[in-house]
Amino acid sequence: MAKIKGKKSSFNPAFKEDHYLFRPLTVLKKLFGAHLPIFTAIIIYIGLIVSDPATSPFYAIENVLMYVGHKYILLTMIIVLVVAFSVAIGYIAIGFRFNKGEGGTGLVFEWLGSKAAMVAGASLLTDFVLTDSVTMAACVAALVSFGVPINRFVLAIIVFLLVGILLRFGDKGRTVFAILSYGFIITILITAFLPIVPNAPEVVHSFNTHSQVPDHSNLKGLALITILLFGVVRGFALLTGLEAGLSALSHEEEKPKYARIAMGVGTIITVLIFTTIITINIAQIAQIFKLQPDHSNTLFAMWTALKTNNSFLLAVLAFFSTGILLSGSASGATAGGGLVHVLVRTKILPKSFTHVDKEHNDYKAMLIVHSIAFAIVLLFAVDEQKIVAFYAISVLIEFFLSLLASIKYAIKTKTYYLLLSIPGFLMVCFALVLNFFRYEGLVIVGIVFVLSQILHKRWIIGGKNKINFSH
């Protein structure tokens, strides 16, 4: 093991210094020494994980716009961001206290019991599958809006196969996805700070869409409040991915404490900064220019067209936009496959569901999740907006249970800073209550409940092993 000034270093020996990832990083090596492999792993991991929440503006804002209308889109998304910050503060507090591999579901198991943990696990599994589904469908929508002249169903098959092939390459494939994520984030942030093109009215007119965004400008009183409340609930699709921070904490348990905290908290903060800038920017432009997205022209594509008339930049945006949606699909499949692997290891699912190769890549489990996600895409006719309606609800259940467990722990142990979870918890409770007035909410809650009951019975049969669904 390498040494620094006669002392043992804390770097992970699993990462070899001659690894292909680290050869070009000579400058960083001088700065970080033996800690470089851990540093690099953190950067790559965050890059991969943020692909899930970073894709949310593709579909979440448009979904809200088609419900609340132009006048209230910016206000609604600001409220959604306030909720996101409240939940994130609670998750960051949890991250600093629980950083030894517990994960959100492990925390629930310890403080709320096995049945609650199974509900959290079922909600996570549902969320991972829907993450894969909605990003695959959004990738198809992005390709169509960028002018690819191929049938949507054919494109869906191509996207499904491409993600499946890249997943087969394990760490190499995930590294490609991480690079695409960072490329997208950098490119989009640059675009966000560009001025609107001078010929903006002509650009808007050229879209020639056939959609009709509802006009709620005359609403007042209770009717307006109702529209805003349910609009905020729809906007919760923007929050998906925050839970990845807790999953990050349980990743690579052998890493030093600082590395685990950096992964978890770094993921959450990166997500918040990026999502806030992009969401406000897109929502504001949609409100000012009264954009009318439809099946062939997404809100995101309209936004990019209004931000640049440079063909090269548009090409770069199209490339990285497609790339991060592929990465988001892979992130859902990877996380879902990891969860399936944990279910097998916990003796909840049979061994036939998983197979780990020599590179520690459980491709079989990932392919199962990816295939189920693809079936959902076909079921909803490759329409990401239909899937979004179900998407945000499953993660709300996981938010609710993780935050509730942290609050209970805080009260029992007098760890009062964890009470920062309370505002986020209350907002999540409110959102869950509202979802009971939507058929999408009832469907997802029903699926999660049935799945959790099956998992719990299998867990009892398997010997009641310790539960930690975050992998």
pLDDT band at 259 (very low <50, low <70, confident <90, very high): low
121 CB burial (10 A radius; 0-12, 13-18, 19+): buried
Separation of CA 93 from chain center: 20
Q: Read off the pLDDT of each residue in 297-322 and give the average, rounded to a whole number.
A: 83
pLDDT of residue 368: 93
In a domain, 185, yes or no: yes
Phi, psi of 150, deg, nearest 5: -130, 140
Q: Is the full-model pTM beyond 0.75? A: yes
CA distance 232 to 64: 8
In a domain, 33, yes or no: no
Evaluate if residue 205 carries a pLDDT over 60. Answer: yes
Number of domains in the chain: 1
Evaluate if residue 19 carries a pLDDT over 50. Answer: no
- Give the pLDDT confidence of 147-187 residue by residue, as tens digits: 788 889 999 999 999 999 888 876 677 677 778 888 888 88
- Give the pLDDT confidence of 51-81 residue by residue, as tens digits: 777 778 878 899 899 889 889 999 999 999 9
In a domain, 35, yes or no: no
Separation of CA 245 from chain center: 10
Q: Read off the pLDDT of each residue in 333-351 and give the average, rounded to a whole number.
A: 85
Contact 7, 34 (CB under 8 A): no
pLDDT band at 458 (very low <50, low <70, confident <90, very high): very high
Nearest residue to 122 via CA among 451, 459, 365, 460: 451
- H helix or E strand, kind and range, residue 224: helix 221-234
- What are the angstrom distances between the C-alpha of 417 and each of 91, 96, 104, 339, 413? 11, 10, 17, 30, 11
* Between 403 and 450, the higher pLDDT residue: 450
User: What is the domain-level CATH number for residue 136?
Assistant: 1.20.1740.10
Cα Dmax for the chain: 73
pLDDT of residue 89: 82
Contact 83, 427 (CB under 8 A): yes
Q: Which amino acid is at 285?
A: I
In a domain, 471, yes or no: no
CA distance 359 to 172: 11
- Give the pLDDT confidence of 222-248 residue by residue, as tens digits: 888 888 888 888 888 887 767 666 665
In a domain, 470, yes or no: no
Copy the structure tokens of residue 348. 């909840």
Evaluate if residue 41 carries a pLDDT over 70. Answer: no
In a domain, 1, yes or no: no
| 76 Cβ contact list (under 8 Å, min separation 6) | 64, 68, 228, 231, 232, 235, 283
Phi, psi of 238, deg, nearest 5: -70, -25
| 168 Cβ contact list (under 8 Å, min separation 6) | 361, 363
Evaluate if residue 282 carries a pLDDT over 90. Answer: yes
Evaluate if residue 13 carries a pLDDT over 60. Answer: no
Neighbours of 109 (CB within 10 A): 24
Nearest residue to 82 via CA among 236, 191, 195, 288: 236
In a domain, 100, yes or no: yes
Nearest residue to 56 via CA among 230, 237, 231: 237
| Share above pLDDT 70 across residues of the chain, in percent, rounded to a whole number | 80
> Is residue 398 helix, strand or coil?
helix
Nearest residue to 140 via CA among 329, 372, 332: 329
429 CB burial (10 A radius; 0-12, 13-18, 19+): middle
Give the total residue count for the chain. Answer: 471
Nearest residue to 316 via CA among 139, 144, 184, 174: 184
Structural domain of residue 349, as residue ranges? 56-461
In a domain, 397, yes or no: yes
Nearest residue to 427 via CA among 223, 217, 242, 221: 242
pLDDT of residue 129: 92
